[in-house]
């Protein structure tokens, strides 16, 4: 099995592009949302670690954002609880898909959490800042600002990538680029 990891700036279109490969995708952001909405175990741990911020189940993202803004050290507490759970889910995903030729890892903090392996194929999603800003305007800006503080600079991610896909947020353009890139990857794999 070959692991393809998708990295890039917040709002660059990583999740959309990950789906275009047509292989199983592990999306860390979706798994975090599931934990916040469905995991009583996660809730209990976060409630114990952040009693002044977590009010009720399911966990509300804005409570966590407030906790981080008021005390940046709270991010470490949250990460110690959430990241091992996400990693367990990723490992289950990998086991479940071990007979697939490729799997796609859509993990925003791939490098920061040292999840990447030596043989992973790293694809950087490159998008223009003005296009990214349009996407982020539709999202919760506070979440994006908080997350950005804890990610490696985009330039470093780009340098570490094996391939770059340009995203102009036009479906046909992206699909052609993904198809072309998969042909290259299959050739070398």
Q: For 93-147, how does the pLDDT look when each residue is reduced to its tens digit (9 = 90+)?
A: 999 999 999 999 999 888 887 888 889 999 999 998 888 888 877 776 545 555 6
Residue 1 sits in the same domain as residue 44: no
pTM (2 d.p.) = 0.88
Copy the structure tokens of residue 129. 């800042």
Residue 16 sits in the same domain as residue 35: no
Residue 39 sits in the same domain as residue 110: no
Q: Are 129 and 137 in contact (CB under 8 A)?
A: no
Give the end-to-end CA distance of the chain in Å, rounded to a whole number. Answer: 10
Residue 109 sits in the same domain as residue 187: yes
> What's the pLDDT at 84?
94
State whether residue 129 is helix, strand or coil. Answer: helix
Residue 151 sits in the same domain as residue 184: yes
Residue 66 sits in the same domain as residue 157: no
What is the number of structural domains in the chain? 2
Residue 86 sits in the same domain as residue 130: no
Residue 73 sits in the same domain as residue 142: no
Whether the CA torsion 26, 30, 33, 34 is positive or negative: it is negative
Q: pLDDT band at 72, cuts 50/70/90?
A: confident
Residue 144 sits in the same domain as residue 101: yes
H helix or E strand, kind and range, residue 151: none
How far apart CA 146 and CA 79 sit, in angstroms, is 13
Residue 18 sits in the same domain as residue 104: yes
Residue 74 belongs to domain spanning: 31-91
DSSP 27-53: EHHHHHHHHHHH-HHHHHHHHHH-TTT
Residue 189 sits in the same domain as residue 111: yes
Burial (CB count <10 Å: 0-12, 13-18, 19+), residue 15 = middle
């Amino acid at each position: 099995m070959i692991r393809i990891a998708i990295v890039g700036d917040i709002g660059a279109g990583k999740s959309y592009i990950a789906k275009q490969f047509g292989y199983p995708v592990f999306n860390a952001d979706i798994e975090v949302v599931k934990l916040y909405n469905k995991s009583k175990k996660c809730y209990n741990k976060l409630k114990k670690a952040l009693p002044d911020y977590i009010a009720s189940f399911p966990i509300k993202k804005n409570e966590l954002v407030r906790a981080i803004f008021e005390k940046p050290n709270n991010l470490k507490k949250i990460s110690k609880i959430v990241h091992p759970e996400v990693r367990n889910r990723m490992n289950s995903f990998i086991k479940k898909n071990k007979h697939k030729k490729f799997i796609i890892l859509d993990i925003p903090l791939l490098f920061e959490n040292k999840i990447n392996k030596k043989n992973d194929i790293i694809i950087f999603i490159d998008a223009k800042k003005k296009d990214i800003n349009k996407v982020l305007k539709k999202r919760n800006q506070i979440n994006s600002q908080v997350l950005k503080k804890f990610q490696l600079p985009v330039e470093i991610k780009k340098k570490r990538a094996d391939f770059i896909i340009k995203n102009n947020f036009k479906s046909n353009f992206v699909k052609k680029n993904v198809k072309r890139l998969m042909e290259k990857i299959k050739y070398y794999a």
